[in-house]
Amino acid sequence: MASKRQIFVGKVPIGGGAPVAVQTMTKTETANLAATMEQIRKVAAAGADIVRCAVPREKDAEALKTIVRESPIPIIADIHFNHTLALKAIDAGAHCIRLNPGNIGGRDKVAEVAVKANAANVPMRIGVNSGSLPKHLHELEREAPVEALVAAAVEFTELMEGLDFTNFKISIKSTNVPNTIAANRLLAEKVPYPLHLGITEAGTKWAGSLKSAVGLGTLLADGIGDTIRISLSTFHAEEEVKVAWEILKALQLRERGPVLIACPTCGRLQFDMDSVVAEIEQRLESYAEPVEVAVLGCAVNGIGEASHADFGIAGAKNEGLIFTHGKPLRKVPQETLVDTLFEEIDKSLDRGKVEIDADESAEGAAWLAKIEAENAHEMTPERIAAMEKEAVEKGESDRVLLDEADSPTAGRRFTRA
């Protein structure tokens, strides 16, 4: 269930049906203004909607004044243990305060921050982390960790409501993916507040991205989660932002920049597709438009499953085909395939539509038809899938066909973009 309430971190709406906001955290010493601002600009350019900075010292709270003034995106001050730093961060103009009520030194100190935040109309992110639950929940945590996490989050929610503070979002953080999923599902049923999703200490870029995609992707597909942060063991915070965007794009919850699709390759591959895909991916990074580009390792299947792509290439030994929306554009020598692809993409973006030269298109179509005819007997993965689909449709197979309308993200797609 998507959250009912909405808060604003700066001008960014969180919850209440707003697009799922991407956030990350700077990895610099906050008081090092040059390094921190450089990282903030990088993550903003990569697509972060919000950024969080650690504020463990007085000089970090002091630096916030400049950071808030110069940052292109809203700043969340990340506070632990010391409530006076939270008060100073509000004075410095922070757009949001992250604070775990359980580690700030008691109700009175939380109340002091809540009064000041209310007066300044600054929201908070309150939360619980597995491993730092209140003492009275430790026994429950041993027996039922999910229930213990949710119980702590509900207690903190009631604490804030008791202080007349409702301008907050909630996070439940755990290093355990199934527990994170279960706890957020349970919490979403109990509270109307926006939820911040993340997998704590997810790990390296490779493993951490996958854990986050599984955990956060599952929840987002359920409609749970209003802002996400991918925690990766890298000093390059923009990498976290890129992963967050890939998750949102995969679920078609938001659009940003190009989408690259590529076949997995198989024994029919006839060119060095690995390096070609890497080059295309790198070149696409400079495009802001949501252009979809497909790379097929051979032309054995025709354009087939990539026919919806805005542009694509199907490679062969010495030459390859450029296509657009399922139609051949032209056949070109292998060594100019990628450059020609980008020429066509650029032309279409400049002109707003693709111009197809009839002769070149016909030459490409004839080339494609010849390859298809030569390989008509090949049992490619795509052909096997098409045969299975046909068998189900004819009632000759019990396999279940995916119904797009039944997709967990149906109806939510792009509605929050």
The residues of the shown chain that bind ligand SF4, judged by CB under 6 A, are: 263-266, 268-269, 296-298, 300-301, 380-382
Contact status, residue 226 vs residue 20, Cβ threshold 8 Å: yes
- Residue 275, token pair as written in the block: 């390096």
In the complex, least distance from residue 304 CB atom to ligand SF4, rounded to whole angstroms: 8
Strand partners, 173: 129
Nearer to ligand SF4, 266 or 362 (CB): 266
SS3 assignment, position 42: helix
Query: Which residues contact residue 106 at a Cβ distance below 8 angstroms, ignoring those fewer than 6 apart?
Result: none
Nearer to ligand SF4, 231 or 270 (CB): 270
Contact status, residue 346 vs residue 258, Cβ threshold 8 Å: no
In the complex, least distance from residue 329 CB atom to ligand SF4, rounded to whole angstroms: 18
Query: From CA 3, how far away is CA 21, in angstroms rounded?
Result: 13
Nearer to ligand SF4, 207 or 369 (CB): 369
In the complex, least distance from residue 356 CB atom to ligand SF4, rounded to whole angstroms: 23
Nearer to ligand SF4, 265 or 397 (CB): 265
In the complex, least distance from residue 387 CB atom to ligand SF4, rounded to whole angstroms: 14
SS (H, E, C) 154-173: HHHHHHHHHCCCCCEEEEEE
- Residue 88, token pair as written in the block: 């100073």
Q: What's the sign of the alpha-carbon dihedral 148, 150, 151, 156?
A: positive
Nearer to ligand SF4, 90 or 306 (CB): 306
Listed residue (35, 26, 33, 34) closest to 53, CA to CA: 26
Nearer to ligand SF4, 147 or 305 (CB): 305
Listed residue (141, 138, 132, 145) closest to 177, CA to CA: 145
Backbone angles phi, psi at 78, to 5 degrees: -95, 110
Other Cβ atoms less than 10 A from the Cβ of 177: the count is 17
In the complex, least distance from residue 263 CB atom to ligand SF4, rounded to whole angstroms: 3
Nearer to ligand SF4, 32 or 375 (CB): 375
Closest residue to ligand SF4 in the complex (CB):
297
In the complex, least distance from residue 382 CB atom to ligand SF4, rounded to whole angstroms: 6
In the complex, least distance from residue 377 CB atom to ligand SF4, rounded to whole angstroms: 13
